[in-house]
Amino acid sequence: MQAHPPLTYEPACDDDFDALAQLRIAAMRESLEAVGRFDPERARARLRAGFRPQDTRHVVLSGKRVGFYALTQRRDHWALDHFYLHPEQTGHGLGSRVLADIARRADLAGMPVRLGALRGSRSNGFYAARGFVVTGEDEYDIHYVRQPHAGS
């Protein structure tokens, strides 16, 4: 069995915003175009509105930044507000590895993880296959929760 390339996480800072916004736009482009909502400036503004560097981590594979996530600790759950990988990195198991790391931490803390995914996005199947359950829907998003697993 081949070993996975090293995966680490680095804290983000205010100066990383432009690079993170570009990555978000690249990652979301296909899904947003499919539903007729691709607008790079809107995507950038939405990220800026909730950007909290202290909650944001770069996903680093073999020393190269290939994605990011923002995980905010709330009173009764953790909110996975953003999770994006560069399009060239999808389909190789990297997203599963990152999500498994987040789930392990949430399990140890006894916290559910909540998130929203764009309707029509392939990410919906990704989250459902990893234990996230639909809790609701709105005009654009499907909302999910993953309850903590005991004994993790």
The residue that leads in pLDDT, 23 or 122, is 23
SS3 label, residue 13:
coil
d(CA 152, CA 149): 6
* pLDDT single digits (tens) 102-122: 999 999 999 999 999 988 888
Read off the tokens for 119. Answer: 């309707």
Question: What domains can be seen in the chain, in order of their start residue?
Answer: 7-146 (3.40.630.30)
Phi, psi of 10 (to 5 degrees): -120, 140
pTM of the predicted structure, to 2 decimals: 0.90
Q: What is the average pLDDT across 127-142? A: 95
* pLDDT single digits (tens) 26-81: 988 887 777 677 788 888 998 999 899 999 999 999 999 999 999 999 999 999 99
Q: Are 39 and 25 in contact (CB under 8 A)?
A: no
SS3 label, residue 23:
helix
